[in-house]
């Protein structure tokens, strides 16, 4: 049994198939397949189920995977320990980024570029996905770091968080929308959106989770007319009069430029939060730890935000109230 066979096996599992694994390893797919078949012969059991449209782990593969990862980590630890004596940082860092996070005032691309410049021997792997899947990946050790949206609930066990964005959610509507009909209206209770077509991020995102949970507590299910992964597209759809976009608070100049009117949502007052997430025991390798330290320095801590260590604390959602001017749901 060779280390490279274990590396190929883990790559196929993490990439979900031989084609993407071969691309990640910069190898030809037949070579990767041959090495894993050899590994399976040495183990005496199939590790991967190739019968479906995607490659999945067999029961034996599920049991073997943690040991394969541990063996790879042990070898990398030997190399990293030796490199530490020369001041050289090597390894691979896997980071996840929620859609729309780069639209905030912090520049993730600049942070990653600076880290790459200072540590050219570190491979950085960037994934954009839903917050739900990324937080699960951090929990399983498949991602070292994630910048993900949060829902008002206990954080997953084994995850530490640092909130970097904490903003109230607003209803963004085009001029002439019924929500604006009442003079002097400065906010809208969540119940007023009960029968309105809503525009929101997809399921699995932190913002959508906050919306679904708040509506459930208010006794109704949101009527989602449009879903989009890009917050900018949500506001564009709302500006065309296609529904009410539920988005984080918009800067005044952006709202004016798009022709939108925004009303804080109250009763309850849901908030959109983005947090830096990592394993409760810290990233496994020195390269990931170095990038996490850099991100914690570069990303501003949200006002009133907190760090939550694993399952020991609660990620606060923040509640409050504006004076609402609507007493009943607006017409659809």
Q: Domain-by-domain residue ranges, the chain?
A: 1-86, 166-272
Tens of pLDDT, residue by residue over 221-242, are 999 999 988 888 999 999 999 9
Q: Which two tokens stand for residue 111?
A: 């942070």
**Rounded CA gap, 295 and 102, in Å?**
13
H or E stretch covering 37: helix 29-43
Axis-axis angle for helices 3-15, 29-43 (nearest 10): 110
What is the per-residue pLDDT for 89? 75
Q: Which CATH class is domain 166-272?
A: alpha beta
CATH of domain 1-86: 1.10.10.10
What is the per-residue pLDDT for 227? 93
CB 130 within 8 A of CB 205: yes
What is the per-residue pLDDT for 75? 85
The arithmetic mean of pLDDT across residues 173-178, rounded, is 92
What is the per-residue pLDDT for 330? 34
Q: Which two tokens stand for residue 192?
A: 């007023």
Cα Rg of the chain (Å, integer): 23
- Residues 122, 30, 8, CA angle at the centre, nearest 5°? 35
pTM to 2 decimal places: 0.66
Tens of pLDDT, residue by residue over 264-313, are 999 889 998 899 999 988 777 788 888 999 999 888 776 544 555 443 33
Query: Residue 41: phi, psi to the nearest 5?
Result: -65, -40
The yes-or-no verdict on residue 35 having pLDDT over 80 is: yes
Helix (H/G/I), strand (E/B), else coil: 14: helix
The yes-or-no verdict on residue 32 having pLDDT over 60 is: yes
């Amino acid at each position: 049994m060779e280390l490279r066979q274990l590396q190929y096996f883990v790559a196929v599992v993490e990439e979900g198939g031989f084609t993407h694994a071969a691309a990640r390893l910069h190898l030809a797919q037949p070579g990767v397949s041959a090495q894993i078949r050899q590994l399976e012969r040495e183990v005496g059991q199939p590790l991967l189920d190739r019968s479906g449209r995607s490659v999945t782990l067999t029961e034996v593969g599920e049991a073997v995977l943690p040991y394969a990862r541990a063996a790879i980590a042990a070898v990398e630890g030997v190399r990293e320990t030796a490199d530490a004596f020369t001041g050289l940082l090597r390894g691979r860092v896997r980071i996840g980024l929620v859609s729309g996070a780069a639209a905030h005032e912090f520049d993730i691309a600049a942070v990653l570029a600076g880290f790459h410049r200072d540590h050219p021997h570190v491979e950085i792997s960037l994934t954009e996905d839903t917050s739900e899947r990324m937080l699960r990946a951090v929990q399983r050790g498949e991602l070292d770091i994630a910048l993900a949206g949060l829902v008002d609930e206990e954080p997953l066990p084994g995850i530490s968080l640092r909130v970097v964005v904490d903003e109230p959610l607003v209803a963004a509507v085009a001029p002439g929308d019924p929500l604006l009909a009442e003079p002097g209206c400065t906010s809208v209770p969540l119940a007023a959106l009960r029968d309105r077509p809503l525009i929101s991020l997809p399921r699995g995102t932190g913002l959508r989770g906050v919306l679904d949970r708040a509506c459930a507590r208010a006794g109704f299910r949101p009527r989602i007319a449009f879903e989009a992964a890009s917050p900018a597209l949500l506001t564009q759809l709302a500006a065309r009069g296609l529904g009410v976009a539920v988005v984080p608070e918009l800067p005044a100049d952006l709202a004016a430029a798009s022709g939108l009117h925004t009303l804080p949502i109250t009763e309850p007052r849901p908030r959109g939060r983005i947090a830096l997430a990592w394993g409760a025991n810290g990233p496994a390798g020195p390269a990931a730890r170095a990038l996490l330290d850099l991100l914690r320095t570069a990303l501003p801590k949200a006002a009133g935000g907190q760090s939550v260590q694993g399952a020991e604390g609660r990620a606060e959602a923040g509640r409050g109230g504006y004076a609402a001017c609507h007493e009943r749901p607006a017409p659809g």
